[in-house]
C-alpha cells in the first residue's frame, strides 16, 4: 500500500535537504507567479543567508500556516538585526504576511522550462535575470500600493 506524504512531512523533508547544503529540485504547482511561472517548470532551490537576499529574488518560505510558498521579494527591511521580507505572487494583487528570516527555506536560482522537446535553463543569478526580477518586484510593489491607495480613496 502506498503511503501518502503529508504536507508537514514534505516541508520537513525540504528543510532537511536545504539545511544540509544540498539543492532542492521541485516542480512549480501553483499559479500565483503567472505569467513568469506557469506551473510546469522545475526550480532549483538553495539555502542562502538572509543578508544575501534582495528585492526581486524568488523566495521559498513557509507561511504562518506552515505551507511552503514561492513568491517574489518586493521589500526587505532589517529590524533589531533581524531581516523581514515582504513578498507577493506576481499574479496576486495583495502582499503576503511579512516573512521573518527564520521562515526562509531558500531561494530559487535556476528554472527549467520545457517547450515541447526543448528544455531551457534560466540562471536567475545572471545580471539579466537579476535586473528583470528587480523590475518585476518594483512593478508589483507600485501596483499593489497604487491599488490600496485607490481603494482607500473610494472608501473600500
- Grid cell digits, residue 17: 535537504
Give the model's pLDDT for residue 143. 73
DSSP H helices in the chain: 7-19, 127-153
Cell match 503511503: residue? 3
Boundaries of domain holding 75: 7-151
pLDDT in tens, 76-91: 999 999 999 999 999 9
pLDDT tens, position by position, 102-127: 999 999 999 998 877 788 899 999 99
pLDDT computed for residue 26 by the predictor: 93
- Nearest residue to 50 (alpha-carbon basis) of 121, 100, 10, 91: 100
Tell me whether residue 1 is in a domain: no
What single DSSP character describes residue 147? H
Number of domains the chain is built from: 1
Model pTM score: 0.86
Please check whether residue 113 lies inside any domain of the structure: yes
In a domain? residue 78 = yes
pLDDT of residue 51: 94
CATH code: domain of residue 50: 2.10.109.10
**Would residue 118 count as lying in a domain?**
yes
Nearest alpha-carbon partner for 83 in 46, 47, 51: 51
Q: Is residue 45 part of a domain?
A: yes
Confirm whether 156 is domain-assigned.
no
Amino acid at each position: 500500500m502506498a503511503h501518502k506524504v503529508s504536507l508537514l512531512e514534505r516541508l520537513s523533508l525540504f528543510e532537511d535537504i536545504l539545511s544540509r547544503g544540498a539543492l532542492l529540485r521541485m516542480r512549480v504547482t501553483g499559479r500565483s507567479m503567472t505569467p513568469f511561472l506557469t506551473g510546469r517548470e522545475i526550480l532549483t532551490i538553495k539555502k542562502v543567508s538572509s543578508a544575501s537576499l534582495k528585492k526581486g529574488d524568488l523566495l521559498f518560505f513557509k507561511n504562518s500556516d506552515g505551507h511552503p510558498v514561492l513568491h517574489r521579494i518586493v521589500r526587505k527591511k532589517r529590524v533589531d538585526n533581524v531581516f523581514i521580507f515582504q513578498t507577493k505572487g506576481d499574479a496576486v494583487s495583495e502582499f503576503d504576511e511579512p516573512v521573518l528570516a527564520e521562515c526562509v527555506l531558500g531561494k530559487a536560482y535556476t528554472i527549467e522550462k520545457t517547450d515541447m522537446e526543448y528544455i531551457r535553463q534560466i540562471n536567475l543569478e545572471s545580471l539579466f535575470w537579476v535586473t528583470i526580477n528587480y523590475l518585476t518586484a518594483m512593478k508589483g510593489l507600485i501596483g499593489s500600493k497604487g491599488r490600496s491607495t485607490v481603494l482607500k480613496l473610494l472608501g473600500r
